[in-house]
Structure 1
Amino acid sequence: MNDTPGWASPGSAPSDGHDSGEQESKAPEDKPSGPSSKWSKEQPPPAQWSAPGTPGPGQTPPPPAPPGQGAGGGQGWGGPSGGPGGGQGGPGGPGGPGGPYRGWGAWQGPPAAAKPGVIPLRPLAVGEILDGAVSTMRTYWRTVLGISLTVAVVTELVVILLQGLVLNDSADTDALDDPSATVGEVTRALGATLASSGVVLVITLLGTIVATALLTMVTSRAVLGRSVTTAEAWRDSRPMLPKLLGLTLLLPLIAVGIVAVGTLPGVLIAAFGPSDAGITLAVLGGIGAGIVAIWLMVRLSLSSPALMLEKQGVKKSMSRSAKLVDRSWWRVFGIQLLAAVIANVISSIIVIPFTVIAGALSGDSVSNLLDSGTGDVGWTFLIVSGIGQVIGSMLTFPINAGVTVLLYIDQRIRREALDLELARAAGVPGHGDSETPGSTPGS
């Protein structure tokens, strides 16, 4: 019997080996005649028939069919039984006359993906990634904002103390504004400025690394719908902090090295040959090397969550990121750029008013207001502007970390079917082990 699920139309006879054409040709010869007819002479009166499933006069309606089954008890066309039982395409299922989709053959669409946490367990759209990061911050706000606030306060406190006690006294930048300054004085002033800015950058980078590590653990649990305390996040992420520090320092060094290699030929030609040709070559080489550096940084942008969640080494996490981003470079680049723009806009909305207020309260000059990290600024300016930096970092840390982690999870769902493993880990019904009754191997 040829019973192919999903292809037979309603009411068609099964092709069980008999020739339907031959039966139709013989039908006229089997006309009932006389007493040999099997038809009864007493037929029901007209206008007594009712549509299937409609109770007649004096009849009680039949009980509703169980979900997924109809009057026939089967699984619907396309189901395991292959019969017209009233599944999603049958009469009693949601696609039949009694369901929300009226008519035969109405397509109901794929079932909704499980959502045990902040994202549905399926390939994500851009808005769902951004919404997942915000939902993590909103749902687990005590842990997320507690981590962000603690890291931001400690980081900014160290920066303020260094700037107020050490960097302002050691950084003599007067030579930069003096036209009569010698080359040596200008060089020393530039060195002091770069040193003070470098110290602030390193401290900020360390705080960002700690916040990223802790928030990565929080977001990974939020995907499963599970909360995590700050102590638990610290315990899980602490062993990976040295590797994360090495990775975070290595990536910008790679980018700077690429740009340096691209500009080096032009610099050498300008130093020992025609200066105009050397400068032109250095600019072109720098632009080309910058494009290569951006391309490589995007390929390696998922290294941090790969290192933290897979417990990999630095080199392995970089190769994992490159594999996940492969053939999705523009998508990853666009989402990361959009998240960075959103975070910077939020930070600017908060930081700029505090900086203006700090400049007005302290009476510092405009140059100090715009360049607070290198000028000789007062404690009032440092404290007030530092409060703005703390509030801005408290909101931008979760966005940056959440988008990166969810983008990593999304790429693994698209390439490695991670959604099935996440569903099993979250305890979603129907996603147990392959030996569990009712589960579908390979689903």
Structure 2
Amino acid sequence: MNDSPGWATPGSSPSDGEGSPATRPPSGDPAGSGGSSGSKWSAEQPPPGQWSSPTPTPGQTPPTGQQPQPPAAPGPNTGWGAYGSGSPGPGGWGTQPTTVKPGVIPLRPLGMGEILDGAVTTMRRHWRAVLPITLVVAVVVQFASVLIQKYAFGDVALDQSSDAPLDEQIDALGSFVALSAANGFIQLIGAIVATAMLTMIFSRAVLGQGSSIGAAWREARPQLARLFGLTLLLGIGAGLLFTVLVLPGALAGQAVLAVLGGFIALGLILWLWIRYSLASPALMLEKATVRKSLVRSSKLVKGSWWRIFGITLLTNIITGFVSALIVFPLTLVGGLVFGGGLEGMADGTGATSWGYLIVTAIGVVIGLTITMPIQAGVTVLLYVDQRIRREALDLELARAAGIENYGTTTPPTGG
């Protein structure tokens, strides 16, 4: 790990159990548990197992005249104080270090609200870098989508409602498929570029550092090809899994078997989606290969699948609701004003008018510009949170942020 944006760990990953610097405990850790494997959690990592003294932590000033107090022996059923909290736990050994927050999140295991708040805070504080990226991607994607809906979809609908020859119908359908594929490719490229650049911006925000669009692009560019391969691999894998489980029943004419295969496929795809949901930030921030990023994500998610699934699902619900609040009113206005009213929307003729398509696209652009950073930010912060819990990443983050003596304590003197 170094102090460069993204705090990528060189060499083997901490989860491989090779004792990388990110997992080594400070010298005062009696248990030496900071380099725990992927199955250990933050309660076994520094500094919870250490006692602290009245010596002020960095950034704190002791009250005037306050004298060091000898530690009191803990009684039964008492703990050592909460990790990272600013007040002692019941029967604790003294005041615990105040939570350190150099950037948008505190350097400790995060709650669901803190992850969502960190994503929104990053978008608010660094909007000059975040919003232009998502705005440009959304505009390009919607421009392609409008062209397809205006020409390809309109031609197919027109030919189906007329007595056009079969060869013209086939040509129109081929054009529709080709333009749809081109639109999908544009969306894929846009999503990859936005995800890569936003990941770098969020990694800096965790350290309390700003970022520019140019800097985010320079940091993300070397990994773009690998991120494209990762995204393509996951998409193809999901498609093949669905085909393998549904196609036999469909070919045999057994609708029940095909539906059952479809439900099984959807369940497996969901499980794999969460299991590999942290592969993208692992690939970008650890400069890993596609294979290693998938392995890293699997190790980080192990034992936390339901938690990550819940946070991801809640994030999608929130962003979907926000997007609907923006897109639906503009879609309704576009249909009533430019789409021939309810009659035009009902028969489909209004859906291809320029006015309706442009107004609807504006709503989608606004929605994507707001929601895309939140979704990307939650994924990055989930990755950071899992590494803090399993690998004491907070020690490396504090060092990269320039915080001195983080994770160390000084024994009381003169007690």
TM-score (norm: length of structure 2) = 0.72
Q: What secondary structure is seen at the aligned counterpart in 1 of 2:303?
A: coil
Determine if contact 2:274/2:308 at 8 Å carries over to the other structure: yes
Determine if contact 2:138/2:365 at 8 Å carries over to the other structure: yes
Q: CA RMSD in A?
A: 3.6
Q: 1:308/1:265 Cα in 2 relative to 1: closer, same or farther (>3 Å)?
A: same
Q: 1:191/1:299 Cα in 2 relative to 1: closer, same or farther (>3 Å)?
A: farther
Name the CA distance, whole Å, in 2 between partners of 1:379 and 1:231. Answer: 35
Name the CA distance, whole Å, in 2 between partners of 1:408 and 1:318. Answer: 13
Aligned pairs for 1:394-413 (under 5 A) are 394-413=369-388
1:281 aligns with 2:257: yes
Determine if contact 1:69/1:75 at 8 Å carries over to the other structure: no
Amino acid across the alignment from 1:133: A
1:167 aligns with 2:142: no
Name the CA distance, whole Å, in 1 between partners of 2:285 and 2:181. Answer: 30
Amino acid across the alignment from 1:172: V
Determine if contact 1:118/1:136 at 8 Å carries over to the other structure: yes
2:109 aligned residue (123, 147, 152): 123
Q: What secondary structure is seen at the aligned counterpart in 2 of 1:293?
A: helix
Name the CA distance, whole Å, in 1 between partners of 2:275 and 2:98. Answer: 31
Name the CA distance, whole Å, in 2 between partners of 1:68 and 1:313. Answer: 55
Quote the residue 1:22 is aligned against.
none
Name the CA distance, whole Å, in 1 between partners of 2:356 and 2:107. Answer: 47
Q: 1:174/1:157 Cα in 2 relative to 1: closer, same or farther (>3 Å)?
A: closer
Quote the residue 1:76 is aligned against.
71
1:418 aligns with 2:393: yes
Name the CA distance, whole Å, in 1 between partners of 2:180 and 2:345. Answer: 15
Name the CA distance, whole Å, in 2 between partners of 1:181 and 1:167. Answer: 16
* Cα drift, residue 211 of structure 1: 1.2
2:132 aligned residue (146, 153, 163): 146
Amino acid across the alignment from 1:359: G
Quote the residue 1:155 is aligned against.
141
Q: 1:323/1:229 Cα in 2 relative to 1: closer, same or farther (>3 Å)?
A: same
Q: What secondary structure is seen at the aligned counterpart in 2 of 1:427?
A: coil
Determine if contact 2:319/2:371 at 8 Å carries over to the other structure: yes
CA-to-partner distance for each residue in 1:363-419, whole Å, 9 max, x for gaps?
3476975999x9871222222222111111110111111000001111111111111
Name the CA distance, whole Å, in 2 between partners of 1:124 and 1:200. Answer: 38
Quote the residue 2:331 is aligned against.
355
Determine if contact 1:68/1:75 at 8 Å carries over to the other structure: no
Determine if contact 2:73/2:93 at 8 Å carries over to the other structure: no
Determine if contact 1:173/1:375 at 8 Å carries over to the other structure: no
1:266 aligns with 2:266: no
Structure 1 residues not aligned, in runs of 5+: 1-64, 80-87, 90-99, 271-277
Name the CA distance, whole Å, in 1 between partners of 2:347 and 2:274. Answer: 30
Quote the residue 2:39 is aligned against.
none
1:307 aligns with 2:283: yes
Aligned pairs for 1:55-204 (under 5 A) are 71=67, 73=68, 76-77=71-72, 110-161=96-147, 163-164=149-150, 166-168=151-153, 171-174=155-158, 193-204=176-187
* Cα drift, residue 318 of structure 1: 1.1
Structure 2 residues not aligned, in runs of 5+: 1-60, 75-79, 82-86
2:304 aligned residue (308, 328, 333): 328
2:211 aligned residue (218, 228, 231): 228
Amino acid across the alignment from 1:76: P
Name the CA distance, whole Å, in 1 between partners of 2:164 and 2:143. Answer: 35
Determine if contact 1:168/1:376 at 8 Å carries over to the other structure: no
Amino acid across the alignment from 1:167: A
Quote the residue 1:96 is aligned against.
none
Size of the alignment, in residue pairs?
Answer: 340
Name the CA distance, whole Å, in 2 between partners of 1:168 and 1:181. Answer: 16
* Bigger Cα Rg: 1
Amino acid across the alignment from 2:279: S
Amino acid across the alignment from 1:236: E
Q: 1:370/1:344 Cα in 2 relative to 1: closer, same or farther (>3 Å)?
A: farther
Quote the residue 1:386 is aligned against.
361
Quote the residue 1:29 is aligned against.
none
Q: What secondary structure is seen at the aligned counterpart in 2 of 1:172?
A: helix
Q: What secondary structure is seen at the aligned counterpart in 1 of 2:156?
A: coil
* Cα drift, residue 77 of structure 1: 3.9
Greater displacement, 241-250 / 191-200: 191-200
* Cα drift, residue 163 of structure 1: 4.5
Determine if contact 2:148/2:180 at 8 Å carries over to the other structure: no
Q: What secondary structure is seen at the aligned counterpart in 1 of 2:97?
A: coil
TM-score (norm: length of structure 1) = 0.68
Name the CA distance, whole Å, in 1 between partners of 2:158 and 2:391. Answer: 58
Name the CA distance, whole Å, in 1 between partners of 2:167 and 2:251. Answer: 23
* Cα drift, residue 74 of structure 1: 6.0
Greater displacement, 340-349 / 109-118: 109-118
Name the CA distance, whole Å, in 1 between partners of 2:144 and 2:164. Answer: 33
Determine if contact 1:130/1:403 at 8 Å carries over to the other structure: yes
Quote the residue 1:206 is aligned against.
189
Q: What secondary structure is seen at the aligned counterpart in 1 of 2:352?
A: coil
Amino acid across the alignment from 2:122: T
Percent identity, please: 50
Determine if contact 1:356/1:369 at 8 Å carries over to the other structure: no
Ranked by relative contact order (alpha carbons within 8 Å, sequence separation 6 or more), the top structure is: 2
Determine if contact 2:345/2:351 at 8 Å carries over to the other structure: no
Aligned pairs for 1:332-351 (under 5 A) are 332-351=308-327
Amino acid across the alignment from 2:156: D
Quote the residue 1:219 is aligned against.
202
Q: What secondary structure is seen at the aligned counterpart in 2 of 1:173?
A: helix
* Cα drift, residue 217 of structure 1: 0.7
Determine if contact 1:173/1:192 at 8 Å carries over to the other structure: no
